[in-house]
Amino acid sequence: MNIKFEEKYIADDSAIVIGLPENIKELKNFDELDTLLNGLTEEIISANVLSDEYGKVTTTGVTIQRRYIKVIAVGLGDSSELTALKVQKAVGKLFQFMASEKDTKAQLIADTFAFEPEEVADAVGMMSAVSSHGLTGYNSSDKKQFHDELDITLVTKADVKAGYEHGAALGGSITLARDFATMPPNMLYPESFADHLAVHFKDRPYVKGEVKDFDTLIQEGFGLLAAVGKASVRKPRLVTIEYKHPDAADDAPIALVGKGITYDSGGYSLKTRTGMRSMKYDMSGAANVVGMMDAITKLELPVHVVAVLALAENMVDGNGMRPDDVYKSLSGKTVEVSNTDAEGRLVLADAVYYASTKYSPKVMMDFATLTGAVIQAIGEDRTGVFTNQGRKFINNLLISSKVTGEDIWHLPMSELEDERVKQSDIADLLNADFKPGGASFAAAFINQFTEETPWVHFDIAGTSNTSSSTPFSKKGSTGVMIRTILDLIESGTLYE
């Protein structure tokens, strides 16, 4: 996207883009807007050509200096009710409309949005990237992303460059995560994923990384991750990405752990034909952690963060993991496998134990498309959240989720589930018991390996991808929780 910043409108063949609140005449710059539109503002409003209904995009045309100029307006409703989130959604709908109309060149009059110009610029930076980002790159006739063809001039007297750059950085990180999740499993597998990440983060300041291959995982005792991935010809990897800014206030890092099952057939507990469809998305937890790290490192936030990604394919062959097998974890605890399709909790068990003991984090969060049970419990529009610290620990997380509109729901995990995961007759733990409350069981299983580190588990099975368009995304991967975690970290409230 080509972006320019101007203090006033300069007539050319670009479309004029405005926000249209209900009380537009009360805007401080109404007279300037009216002059811009050749004194036709009153006429346009009274004729109901353009709508101020929130989220509705309408168009008209005006003649300026003998040029016929297209005017695109997005309704903002009552300006007193506007929030940063509502502005983002409106701007997202605006860019989706522009994409459908192939309007790639526009001057956006930021001061008409009845909100802080820097927040509007932030929304433009992010939403221009994420709202129309589609599944491209694999069709022989694929063209450029709409975002790549945009030529936008932000018109405002305010200094909004920093706001735009922040939004653009975050938007790029979200689309990066989506692109990884979208990649076909014959192209993205543990080794290739690790290679992509090594190249991507190679020149980032304050970043160092490590990749453990299959032989190293076996030698170092990652028994569960190795067991899940051993059936595939594409062997598992454990990737760590550590970022430590010199101004980080706390030496103990934030740990972000991602489930990265690049394809999940279910193993010997084989999925059905329909159940196996779209299982390339089973690495969305790892992809979204990559998006978080990408944003944190691009913005050079003054924090210490480490990402641990457990990457594997869950396949079938004569050497594969079977129901009734028992494996020793990195922690030394043994696990009886009752369901090979409950593999995500196994790779996370080794990963969270490694993160806890290697880095002694102040807080640890894991992200995983873990259970269908969470969808049955709270639907496809909410992320299930579990913690070993009680509700107070996640209060600020709940606030950040309200700010970003990424709905989360605190779900229970108690001694009841702790007892259930210890029901094996021959091992320390059982990986599944086929009873109701499967999401809580899975969370309790992972908690056996956290070493009492303050921990939050995000089950994103329902929210990691969508079959319908929203202002933040077209169908496909969503990059869920990237915006929320960035808001939590940037707000400085993570440890409160």
- Mode of pairing for the β-strands spanning 334-336 and 326-328: antiparallel
Q: Rounded to whole angstroms, what are the CA distances from 271 to 340, 440, 463? A: 10, 22, 20
DSSP 74-130: EEEE-GGG--HHHHHHHHHHHHHHHHHHT--EEEEEGGGGSS-HHHHHHHHHHHHHH
| Element at 443 (helix H, strand E) | helix 438-447
Catalytic residue ranges: 271, 345
Strand partners for 65: none
Total length of the chain: 496
| Element at 142 (helix H, strand E) | none
The angle formed by the CA atoms of residues 170, 173 and 174, to the nearest 5 degrees, is: 90
| Element at 43 (helix H, strand E) | helix 41-46
Burial (0-12, 13-18, 19+ Cβ within 10 Å), 199 = exposed
Backbone angles phi, psi at 291, to 5 degrees: -60, -40
What is the rounded distance in angstroms from the CA atom of residue 141 to the CA atom of residue 153?
A: 30
**Is the separation of the CB atoms in 135 and 181 below 8 Å?**
no
Is 264 annotated as a binding-site member?
yes
Is 203 annotated as a binding-site member?
no
Contacts of 117 (CB under 8 A, 6+ apart): 110, 111, 156, 158, 160, 163
Is 215 annotated as a binding-site member?
no
From the list 440, 437, 475, 473, the residue with the least C-alpha distance to 459 is 440
What is the rounded distance in angstroms from the CA atom of residue 75 to the CA atom of residue 77?
A: 6
- 373-412 as b/e: b if 16+ CB within 10 A: bbbebbeeebbbbbbbeeeebbebbbebbeebbbbbbbbe
DSSP 169-213: HHHHHHHHHHHHHHS-TTT--HHHHHHHHHHHTTT-TTEEEEEE-
Residues placed in the known binding site: 259, 264, 282, 341, 343
Residues placed in the known binding site for Mn(2+): 259, 264, 282, 341, 343
